[in-house]
Amino acid sequence: MTLKKQKILAASLFLAALISSPVYGDEIKTRYATIVYDNMEVLRKFNRELYLGRLKYQLPSGASETIEEEVKDKIDLIIEKVQVVLDMFPKSIHFSIVIHLSTNGVQKDFQRIYNKNVDYIAFFSPGENTVFYSADNATLRVVSHEIGHVVAEHYFTVSPPPKIHEVLAQYAETHITD
């Protein structure tokens, strides 16, 4: 193969990798997570849907000055609360959160990762160490459920079987406001 053909092949492979990789707009770093989202409309919608109920009184004192700060505070609070509910405190926990405008984006990411069509509104991918949410469905229960998966995954040296994972996530979801 000539040098010119090698360069063309390398450029083509690079372009294919770039095109097939998901691209998101902005990001927020929290103590435990990196949150990525397309734009402020998506983040606003996610924040509106993520109503904490009586948990809001556990947020840091003083109102957050920006939507980004409010989402950051909410996510860190939920992560800490899920750890308490599950009585699981991983030594180190850091993961990514991807927020899509709708369930369509969540389902496309599941298809990309697992090559399977589903109707999920959110999911955790242990291989990518990422939770995928739809801003449409960012309820406290949904967010807590997926973070339950994250906490369990980071807590155990060997990941528990899927049914145990699901029981732990459901427990976190059900007891988040206790």
Q: What percent of the chain has pLDDT over 70?
A: 85
Look at 48 and 25; give whichever has higher pLDDT: 48
In a domain, 7, yes or no: no
User: Does residue 111 sit within a domain?
Assistant: yes
Number of domains in the chain: 1
Q: Which of helix, strand or coil describes residue 96?
A: strand
Containing H/E element for 141? Answer: helix 140-155
Rounded Cα distance between 126 and 153, Å, is 7
Paired tokens of 5: 């053909």
- CATH of residue 33: 3.40.30
Domain that holds residue 75: 24-175
CA distance 157 to 11: 40
Residue 81 lies in a domain: yes
Task: Specify the pLDDT at position 154.
Answer: 97
Of 36-50, 60-74, 140-154, 157-171, least confident by mean pLDDT is 60-74
Decide if pLDDT at 18 tops 60.
Answer: no
pLDDT at 5 over 60: no
- Over residues 39-89, the pLDDT tens digits come to 999 999 999 999 999 998 898 877 678 999 999 999 999 999 999 999 999
Cβ-Cβ contacts under 8 Å for 13 (sequence gap 6 or more):
none
Does the residue 16 lie in any domain? Answer: no
Task: Tell me the average pLDDT of the chain.
Answer: 89
Residue 86 CA: distances (Å) to CA of 81, 83, 174: 9, 5, 11
pTM: 0.84
